Amino acid sequence: MTFAGHCFRCGAALSAAPPCACGSCGYEHYLNARPTVSLIILDGAGRFLALRRARAPRAGLWETPGGFCDGWEEPADAARREAREELGVDIELGDFVGMYLGGYEFQGELLPVLDCFFFATLPAGAQLLVDAVEASEHTWFPLADPPPMAFETMDRALRDAVVRAG
Ligand SMILES: [Zn+2]
């Protein structure tokens, strides 16, 4: 397979996949995993919150709430923002679970993503207002017995979370 990318700076075709320097202007190209945040929200009874994805990719499958970090946004801030946007709540952010490298299909490309997982809880009496654009339904699954998740990084993080939540 030939690499079809072009230089960001001068537009010349790149002869190789990053990391490489543009043969025309010398600009150095790198491909780095993009950070995302994902929330393992626990209910205090050994269950975590899952959303059923309403959008591609992987529509119809279960996921933990979250999304991409914006350019200069701290991951913890992105985690709180995503909870407000997707769930309509101010979560209480807990311990960091870990980072996992995964793939995300977007605009016809498979991008490397670095998924950062945090534990979280809901404030007492919180009412979820799940964004219907993002999720068609939500439910609570046993942390020790999760369903297959939309992304493999979620499966891995949930396995580690069981140990951490001990
Ligand atoms: Zn160039």
pLDDT in tens, 82-115: 999 999 999 999 999 999 999 999 888 899 999 9
**Structure-token match 């945090």, residue found:** 118
- How far away, in angstroms, is 4 Cα from ligand 1 center? 14
Cα(116) to centroid(ligand 1), Å: 33
User: In CATH, what class is 32-165?
Assistant: alpha beta
- Ligand 1 centroid from CA 25, angstroms: 4
pTM of the model: 0.91
Say whether 157 sits in a helix, a strand or coil: helix
Q: According to CATH, where is 3.90.79.10 located in the chain?
A: 32-165
Q: Is 132 exposed, middle or buried (0-12, 13-18, 19+ CB in 10 A)?
A: exposed
The rounded distance, in Å, linking the Cα atoms of 16 and 163 is: 42
- Ligand 1 centre to CA of 13 (Å) is 8
